Structure 1
Amino acid sequence: MSKSPIKFTIEPDAKAPTLKRLRQLSRLLDNAITIPGTRVGIGLDPLIGFIPLGGDFLGVMLSAYIVLEAARLGAPKATLGRMVLNIIIDGLLGAIPVLGDFFDFAWTANEHNIKLLEEYLRFPGQSKSADVWFVLALLLGLLLVAIVLVAFPVILIRLLWQALFGV
């Protein structure tokens, strides 16, 4: 009995609803509310970044969902790698107190990632889709980054507490 290969991509006719859903998620995370009189939008991603410890973790995990769906749509390794890099930049720089919050408002990683996905979908036959192991490695890497975003502040707070109070 031979094993059939794992099917990881979505059929072509199912791509439009998936892309629409990802655009909606991206808009919700990056530009849900437009500031009146400007073209500047504020999404949930910078707002949940204000949640102590878990906000940045949650932001990275929501962004990772877009990468997972992009892989299911057949995006190649190069596209997925750039998407993950955008999320890592967003997560790590966004975690810097005060400055990171301003960075989160300006850097819309999810919007950039949707543009990368749309660019691939315009010319899908040019590159080979990423395999399951590559996608799992990327998602595991994002999970690791998200864990670091929680652990690093905890360690810093503990060190500061010890320095101040000798406990």
Structure 2
Amino acid sequence: MYLEEVNVIFIEPCTADANKMRFKAAFSRNISEILPYLNAEIKIAQYNHRAENLTFNQGIKIITLSSETLSVAKIINETDAYEMCDYIKNLINDIYKKRDVIVPLFEMRKKPSVLDIYKYLPKTNCKRCGESTCVAFASKLIVGELQVQQCRSIHENKHDGKLDELKKILNC
């Protein structure tokens, strides 16, 4: 196993959202060699090779991995923090196992725009997701306020390939 432990250092109220919490955890080893592989696999990640950090969203959570630490904002509670530590540990270990078949990506990826997301949506403005337009849905999807599953129209057969492409862009 590449990474044995992810140990919580602190959990405190979140500065980005008063109703949420944030935490910081330490990795049992330096993971800087794995960051470019994670960058290649997590399509929505923002990676800075020189600073040795990678940031991505999972739902509303903002996750930042550096060479020695994990920081996560907008968690619900302490249990969520420990579950996230396990998730990140498993993700890093899985990527490490598959690193021979992954081409590492050292460059910072351009974050998908609202229009990049919108072009894969049905463009029906059906409001079944709770938003007034598909553009509004795309803007909330990109920041993690909504999930792709909430667009009911995209799951219909006539939009088959679009759902797969959208999931690929959003890494879900």
What TM-score does the superposition give when structure 1 sets the normalisation length?
Answer: 0.28
- Answer 1 or 2: which has greater helix percent: 1
What TM-score does the superposition give when structure 2 sets the normalisation length?
Answer: 0.27
Q: Which has the larger radius of gyration?
A: 1
